[in-house]
């Protein structure tokens, strides 16, 4: 079995042993569209992360019998085209739940606790030079008793909800798909979520229902003391509107792990914010713990094994 991974660099350095054990594994760090066409010529299994799987690519791979997404989102794969050619497509779900929940709280607590400000106050010597502690005080907000509003109560949203409850936060949620209902947490309309949340955190996938869900109008409905965290997909939030809202004090701050265009363009509005200190960023690594990466590679291998055993 020949397995080709067209953009393996997206998983970074680390072992691909689980895939190497299954057959002839060829991992390309990255591939241009042209390189992709020639590289899939004799592969049985194709693994991609962001590389676009188009009808043209499928036509260039006569032996191709399985497409594996190296992740959960399959926006880069023309699934219909694969189905028409009788080629199954498999993704890996749930490998990053714990890590994304952890990164979500890293952002929430950094925003509420103004972590960089205080860290700098010490490292710069400002604290040392202060006569009284309060010279370096900025208000920091206690999480206990505050309301966490979740958009997207899937596996990740639920884990975030459970941690929030352990910190005595009130959890409310909005289901964009209209499918996630649970008695465990209070379901509300989007308007109510915007109005009541002290922290609004997005864990939804990109879909027609979530694209552009949060724009200037929605941000205006939020509390001026509220923070927004987007761990879902960049396009769910209007990025220019968000910068204007945070810079203008319409909301207090935001943390973003996902962007409409990745990597973030140098001239993006996020890079022009007047108040960068009110923002926290991670470069789409909310998922990126060593443990999650290992589970992802093992998940891809498990998909390949399951498919080949089913033949």
**Taking CB under 8 A as the criterion, which residues in 43-82 touch another protein?**
50
Complete DSSP assignment for 77-120? B-HHHHHHTT--EE---SSSHHHHHHHHHHHHHHHHHTHHHHHH
* C-alpha–C-alpha distance, residues 297 and 275, integer Å: 39
Could you tell me which of 201, 281, 210, 284 has the C-alpha nearest to residue 243?
281
Interaction between residue 1 and another protein (CB under 8 A): no
* C-alpha–C-alpha distance, residues 147 and 197, integer Å: 5
For residue 147, the minimal CB distance to another protein (Å) is 14
Q: Considering beta carbons, is residue 166 or 183 the nearer one to another protein?
A: 166
Interaction between residue 167 and another protein (CB under 8 A): yes
Q: Which of 24, 35, 217, 291 binds another protein (CB under 8 A)?
A: 291
For residue 198, the minimal CB distance to another protein (Å) is 12
Q: Which of 1, 62, 94, 162 binds another protein (CB under 8 A)?
A: 162
What 8-state DSSP symbol labels residue 6? T
Interaction between residue 280 and another protein (CB under 8 A): yes
Q: Considering only residues 220 through 249, tell me which ones interact with another protein, judged by CB under 8 A.
A: none
C-alpha dihedral over 119, 123, 127, 133, to 10 degrees?
20
Q: Considering only residues 257 through 276, tell me which ones interact with another protein, judged by CB under 8 A.
A: 262-266, 268, 270-271, 276
* C-alpha–C-alpha distance, residues 139 and 158, integer Å: 29
For residue 72, the minimal CB distance to another protein (Å) is 13
Interaction between residue 103 and another protein (CB under 8 A): yes
Establish whether 233 is a catalytic residue: yes
Residue 126, H or E segment:
helix 126-129
Establish whether 284 is a catalytic residue: yes
The catalytic residue positions are 233, 262, 284
């Amino acid at each position: 079995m020949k397995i080709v991974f067209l953009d393996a660099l997206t998983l970074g350095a680390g072992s691909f042993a689980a895939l190497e054990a299954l057959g002839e594994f060829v991992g390309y760090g990255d591939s241009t569209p042209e390189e992709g066409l020639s590289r899939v010529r004799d592969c049985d299994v194709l693994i991609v992360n962001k590389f676009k799987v188009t009808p043209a690519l499928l036509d260039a791979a006569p032996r191709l019998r399985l497409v594996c997404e190296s992740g959960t989102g399959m926006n880069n794969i023309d699934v219909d085209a694969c189905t028409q050619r009788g080629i199954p497509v498999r993704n890996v779900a749930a490998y990053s739940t714990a890590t994304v929940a952890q990164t979500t709280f890293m952002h929430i607590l950094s925003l509420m606790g103004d972590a960089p400000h205080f860290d700098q106050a010490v490292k710069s010597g400002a604290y040392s030079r202060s006569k009284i502690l309060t010279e370096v005080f900025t208000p920091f907000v206690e999480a206990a008793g505050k309301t966490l509003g979740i958009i997207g109560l899937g596996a990740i949203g639920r884990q975030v909800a459970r941690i929030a409850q352990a910190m005595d936060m009130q959890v409310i949620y909005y289901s964009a798909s209209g499918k996630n209902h649970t008695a465990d947490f209070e379901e509300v309309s989007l308007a109510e979520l915007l109005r009541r949340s002290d922290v609004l955190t997005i864990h939804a996938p990109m879909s027609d229902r979530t694209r552009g869900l949060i724009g200037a109008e929605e941000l205006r409905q939020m509390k001026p003391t509220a923070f927004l965290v987007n761990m879902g997909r960049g396009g769910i939030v209007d990025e220019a509107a968000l910068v204007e809202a945070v810079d203008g004090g319409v909301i207090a701050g935001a943390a973003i792990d996902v962007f409409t265009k990745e990597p973030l363009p140098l001239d993006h509005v996020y890079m022009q914010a007047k108040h960068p200190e009110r923002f926290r960023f991670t470069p789409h690594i909310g998922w990126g713990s060593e443990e999650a990466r290992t589970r992802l590679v093992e998940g891809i291998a498990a998909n390949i094994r399951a498919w080949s055993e089913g033949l």
